[in-house]
């Protein structure tokens, strides 16, 4: 493959926005990020403004392209969901199973291991959001399937972590002991607290045991109060990572702005999207319940939010335009920060010589203009 020279846009390298730079790509790998030299020989690709960024990473993806991660998931399902999100700008995702049966968990693990072994483009590992949650903060999760963690669950997840590139687990400390959290962390699982009504002190105990992340900050968790900081307060007060659904619905723009002023690092964007992503579906079934799509909201029949109708470019736009966060920080929240959370920085999240050329070109309105995976335009 000849040298490709992508120029004519600001370049975000994972940390900074650079003016007057070009990204050189050869054989699917970044050859250089350097000041644009018009005398370079190669195929010049004029981008016409906007921003050229590392393609995004989404660590909470329940589905896409009309498919959900669930009890019938197989390798083909994961391949199709990953392909959908590549078109939406994400070079890598964690397909996410929300609260379900042990049999569904085992099936998704098997499919994930197969996806890892076959090197499915865009597959970074798995995320299990539940079933070890707090019923008081169940959100759209099926309360009949929420249950405490057992030694068998820990063994299954620790074994899976050895076979997967990354494994994230959302638990409530009410349903998973400090001993469980420590064992999972030692096995390489990224333990994230969420769907919990725990106290600040209990959250800190889970953190001391090894939990180092929080799932969709503010949503389905005990809130920051004047006498009880809750899980939300513990996240803002500690050196934790935290996912954030920035659709302007799950968290108000003012709250986004306050939280990002209080917590200046570690917050990353997630879509929390459902099967609707990349499709024109109006409704789906979730564990026997109907989820409706209307005016940017996904809700159960009782009005409970059930995931988000969101892509990461849309989330970046909300963070920049409504929460008034500078573009470089907003882009970090979808690239280098999530890459760091799951230990994937060697390939993802940055533009630098020797890294895979996973790229996204954003127009001035934050809409996607083009996506490349390993140098190939999607």
Residues labelled catalytic: 272
Distance CA 87, CA 172 (A): 33
Written as six digits, the tokens of 291 are: 């989820």
Beta strands in 3-118 (DSSP E): 4-7, 10-12, 17-18, 21-26, 29-35, 43-46, 51-54, 56-61, 63-64, 67-68, 90-98
Beta strands in 208-353 (DSSP E): 213-214, 241-244, 267-269, 283-286, 289-294, 297-300
Query: What is the DSSP code string of 110-165?
Result: HHHHHHHHTT-TTB--EEEE-SS--GGG-TTS-GGG-----HHHHHHHHHHHHHSS
Whole-angstrom CA distances from 247 to 167, 223, 365 are 25, 19, 16
Q: Do the Cβ atoms of 222 and 137 come closer than 8 Å? A: yes
- Strand-by-strand arrangement of the 29-35 sheet: 29-35, 21-26, 4-7, 43-46
Q: Do the Cβ atoms of 210 and 181 come closer than 8 Å? A: yes
Q: Do the Cβ atoms of 336 and 345 come closer than 8 Å? A: yes
Q: Do the Cβ atoms of 195 and 137 come closer than 8 Å? A: yes
């Amino acid at each position: 493959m000849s040298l490709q020279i992508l120029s004519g846009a600001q370049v975000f390298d994972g940390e900074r926005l650079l003016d007057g730079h070009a990204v050189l790509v050869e054989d699917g790998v970044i050859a250089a990020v350097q000041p644009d030299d018009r005398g370079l020989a190669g195929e010049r690709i004029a981008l016409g403004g906007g921003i050229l960024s590392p393609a995004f990473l989404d660590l909470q993806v329940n589905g896409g392209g009309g498919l959900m991660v669930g009890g019938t998931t197989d390798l083909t399902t994961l391949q199709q969901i990953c392909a959908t999100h590549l078109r939406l700008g994400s070079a890598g995702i964690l397909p996410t199973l929300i609260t379900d049966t042990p049999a569904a968990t085992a099936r998704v693990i098997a499919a994930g291991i197969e996806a890892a072994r076959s090197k499915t483009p865009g597959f970074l590992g798995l995320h299990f959001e539940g079933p070890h949650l707090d019923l008081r903060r169940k959100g759209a999760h099926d309360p009949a399937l929420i249950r405490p963690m057992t030694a068998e669950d820990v063994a299954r997840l620790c074994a899976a972590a050895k076979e997967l590139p990354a494994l994230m687990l959302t638990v409530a400390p009410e349903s998973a002991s400090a001993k469980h959290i420590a064992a999972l962390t030692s096995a390489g699982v990224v333990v994230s607290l969420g769907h919990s009504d725990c106290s600040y002190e209990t959250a800190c105990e889970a953190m001391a045991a090894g939990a180092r992340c929080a799932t969709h900050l503010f949503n389905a968790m005990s809130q920051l109060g004047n006498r009880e900081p809750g899980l939300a307060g513990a996240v803002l007060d500690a050196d934790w990572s935290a996912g954030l659904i920035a659709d302007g619905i799950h968290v108000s723009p003012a709250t986004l702005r306050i939280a990002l002023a209080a917590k200046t690092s570690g917050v990353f964007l997630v879509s929390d999207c459902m099967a609707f992503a990349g499709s024109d579906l109006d409704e789906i079934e979730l564990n026997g319940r109907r989820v409706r799509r209307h005016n940017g909201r996904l809700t159960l029949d009782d009005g409970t939010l059930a995931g988000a109708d969101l892509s990461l470019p849309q989330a970046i736009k909300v963070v920049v335009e409504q929460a008034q966060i500078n573009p470089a920080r907003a882009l970090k929240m979808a690239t280098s920060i999530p890459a760091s959370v799951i230990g994937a920085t060697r390939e993802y999240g940055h533009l630098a010589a020797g890294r895979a050329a996973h790229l996204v070109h954003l127009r001035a309105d934050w809409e996607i203009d083009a996506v490349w995976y390993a140098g190939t335009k999607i």
